[in-house]
Amino acid sequence: MSRFQFVDDHRNTFPVKWLCQILEVSRSGFYRWRTSAAARAERARADQELAEQIRVIHADSDDTYGSPRVTAELRDAGF
């Protein structure tokens, strides 16, 4: 669990300022982390999609393709 997640989970119980001081994180960093949640979720989804494509390419090659060939296949597919 990240310290920012801990602050977010307990911000209704304790002031954010106190939580950030105790955990030695900046309040501005915490609020920036909160506003970037959608971007992090989108990045995680894109990473999951890419990982699935890599698995498919690797399986289609009978598990023989290494990273250079997988990368070439991904580029050909538009990734």
pLDDT of residue 1: 67
CB contact at 8 A, 27 and 3: no
Contacts of 60 (CB under 8 A, 6+ apart): none
**pLDDT tens for residues 4-57?**
999 999 999 999 999 999 999 999 999 999 999 999 999 999 999 999 999 999
Which parts of the chain are beta strand (E)? none
> What is the reported pTM?
0.66
CB contact at 8 A, 20 and 26: yes
**pLDDT tens for residues 10-23?**
999 999 999 999 99
Amino acid identity, position 17: K
